[in-house]
Amino acid sequence: MSEVVRRRVVVTGRVQGVFFRDSIRGEAAARGVSGWALNRHDGALEAVFEGEPQAVGAVVAYCRAGPPQARVDAVAVSEEEPGGESGFRIR
């Protein structure tokens, strides 16, 4: 079995109401990455990605730009222990 990593990201800027979560879901699905994404009450977007390191890295990189309507000001990334995520959910 290949290595699995987990990353939590918090994206700030104009990231709500611009299809960011759905865009992330598409990027994750295309790369076989599991996890979830949600809009936080403070206006940020939070997401967890779990999968092969290169695939997770690609989805994290996508978060640094986001969809065309978004404006990303900052992306905080933290490493976590894999939790056995399955599929990708928008919360």
Alpha carbon distance 14, 4 (integer Å): 30
Active site residue 6: no
Tokens of 58: 């690609």
Residue 75 CB partners (closer than 8 Å, separation 6+):
9, 10, 11, 12, 60, 63, 64
Active site residue 31: no
Alpha carbon distance 63, 66 (integer Å): 5
Q: Which of 8, 31, 39, 89 is catalytic?
A: 39
Q: Which of 21, 25, 31, 91 is catalytic?
A: 21
Positions marked catalytic:
21, 39
